[in-house]
Structure 1
Amino acid sequence: MADGRVERGNQTRRAVLERTMGIASVDGLEGLSLGKIASELGLSKSGVFALFGSKEELQLATVRAAVDVFVDEVVRPVREEPAGVEKVWRLCRHWLAYSGGRVFPGGCFFYSVSAEFDARPGPVRDEIVKVRDSWTRYVERVLDEARLAGGFRAGVDTDADVVPQLAFEMIALMDLANAEAVLHDDVAPYVRAGRGILDRLKAVAAAPERLPERPPTAADFVIPS
Structure 2
Amino acid sequence: MRKGELTRQAILDVAVRMARYSGLSGLTIGSLAAAADMSKSGLFAHFRSKEALQLACMERNSEQFIDEVFRPALGKPRGIARLQALVENWMAWYSRPGGCLYLAAAAEFDDLTGPLHDLMVAEQRQLLDSLARIAATAVEAGELDEDTDVFQVAQEVFGILLSYNWMSRILSYPDAADRAWAAFNRLIDSHAVASRRV
With normalisation by structure 2, the TM-score equals 0.91
Q: Tell me the residue number matched to 1:132.
A: 124
The answer as to 2:197 corresponding to 1:205 is no
Counterpart contact for 2:23–2:101, Cα < 8 Å: no
Report the alpha carbon displacement of residue 78 of structure 1 after superposing the two structures with TM. Answer: 1.9
Q: Tell me the residue number matched to 2:177.
A: 190
Report the alpha carbon displacement of residue 84 of structure 1 after superposing the two structures with TM. Answer: 1.6
Report the RMSD for the aligned CA atoms in angstroms.
Answer: 1.9
Q: Tell me the residue number matched to 1:217.
A: none
- Secondary structure of the corresponding residue to residue 157 of structure 1: coil
Of 110, 113, 118, which aligns to 1:121?
113
Counterpart contact for 1:85–1:205, Cα < 8 Å: no
What letter corresponds to residue 113 of structure 1 in structure 2?
Answer: A
What is the CA–CA distance in structure 2 between the aligned matches of 1:205 and 1:81, rounded to whole Å?
19
Q: Tell me the residue number matched to 2:146.
A: 157
Matches of residues 79-98 of structure 1 in structure 2 within 5 Å? 79-98=74-93
Runs (5+) with no aligned partner, structure 2? none
What letter corresponds to residue 73 of structure 2 in structure 1?
Answer: V
- Secondary structure of the corresponding residue to residue 25 of structure 2: helix
Q: Tell me the residue number matched to 2:28.
A: 33
What is the CA–CA distance in structure 1 between the aligned matches of 2:159 and 2:79, rounded to whole Å?
21
What letter corresponds to residue 163 of structure 1 in structure 2?
Answer: V
What is the CA–CA distance in structure 2 between the aligned matches of 1:22 and 1:190, rounded to whole Å?
24
Report the alpha carbon displacement of residue 186 of structure 1 after superposing the two structures with TM. Answer: 4.3
- Secondary structure of the corresponding residue to residue 31 of structure 1: coil
- Secondary structure of the corresponding residue to residue 31 of structure 2: helix
Q: Tell me the residue number matched to 2:134.
A: 142
What is the CA–CA distance in structure 2 between the aligned matches of 1:190 and 1:122, rounded to whole Å?
36
Q: Tell me the residue number matched to 1:77.
A: 72
Report the alpha carbon displacement of residue 134 of structure 1 after superposing the two structures with TM. Answer: 0.7
The answer as to 2:46 corresponding to 1:54 is no
Report the alpha carbon displacement of residue 10 of structure 1 after superposing the two structures with TM. Answer: 2.6
CA 1:187–1:14 in structure 2 vs 1: closer, same or farther (change >3 Å)? farther
Q: Tell me the residue number matched to 1:42.
A: 37
What is the CA–CA distance in structure 1 between the aligned matches of 2:172 and 2:39, rounded to whole Å?
36
Alignment deviations for residues 8-39 of structure 1 (CA, whole Å, 9 cap, x no partner): x3333223211211121221100001011112
Q: Tell me the residue number matched to 1:21.
A: 16
CA 1:58–1:186 in structure 2 vs 1: closer, same or farther (change >3 Å)? farther
What is the CA–CA distance in structure 2 between the aligned matches of 1:61 and 1:187, rounded to whole Å?
35
Q: Tell me the residue number matched to 2:6.
A: 11
What is the CA–CA distance in structure 1 between the aligned matches of 2:52 and 2:104, rounded to whole Å?
19
Q: Tell me the residue number matched to 2:104.
A: 112
Counterpart contact for 1:34–1:48, Cα < 8 Å: yes
- Quote the sequence identity (%): 32
What is the CA–CA distance in structure 1 between the aligned matches of 2:94 and 2:190, rounded to whole Å?
25
Runs (5+) with no aligned partner, structure 1? 210-225
Report the alpha carbon displacement of residue 187 of structure 1 after superposing the two structures with TM. Answer: 4.3
Aligned residues: 196
What is the CA–CA distance in structure 2 between the aligned matches of 1:184 and 1:23, rounded to whole Å?
23
